Amino acid sequence: MTAPARVGEPSPRDPSKKKTEEHDRARRRTAGAERAYARRAQRAQNLRGGAAAPQQKPASKAPFVVLVMLVLGAGIAGIMYFSTQAAADTYRLQEAKAEAEKLTLRMEQLRREVALLESPTDLARRATEMGLVEPSNPARLRQNPDGSIEEFGKPSAPTKSTPPPPPSSEPPAPPAGQTPPVGNQPPPAGG
């Protein structure tokens, strides 16, 4: 026999008590157990030939695959672009280095020409070609420690021992403001 019901509690003979006990048991199940019971009920219903519950369609993977393919395609295109740019930059760098080397060689050649033209022997040769003569007895100056200047030797006028250079095959340039002579005409006199 069952104990008498207390005040406020349902009677032991009350059918609603069974429902609350089942509800309490169902509440105590874990989510995994609930899924297992749901699968079991689904299988039992399928075996009996009953209408199957509408199944969820699996999510389409096409958008994700397309997105991954686009990202990979963009990555490959970017790599190819930067690779070709690097190759082009390498060619431009090689050309710039070759140009720099060529200019360096030209600069060294010009320096050698300037050094040769500044040499005393070349200056003397060009001066002689222009009709200049070297003085035979030049005067020399010396600065004393007190700042005064002392002259040594007697300067003498140079004597022109070499004939002037032959006239060049090109006619001399006309003075500014005049037109050059045409053909075999002599230049105008009195300029």
User: What pLDDT, on the 0 to 100 scale, is given for residue 12?
Assistant: 60
Q: Would you kindly state where each structural domain of the chain is located, as residue ranges?
A: 17-48
Whether the predicted model's global pTM rises above the 0.75 cut: no
CB 151 within 8 A of CB 141: yes
User: What pLDDT, on the 0 to 100 scale, is given for residue 191?
Assistant: 41
Average pLDDT along the chain, 191 residues, taken 10 residues at a time: 59 63 67 86 82 63 92 97 96 97 97 92 90 81 91 77 54 54 51 41
Cα→Cα distances 22→9, 12, 28, 39, 187, Å? 17, 15, 10, 20, 137
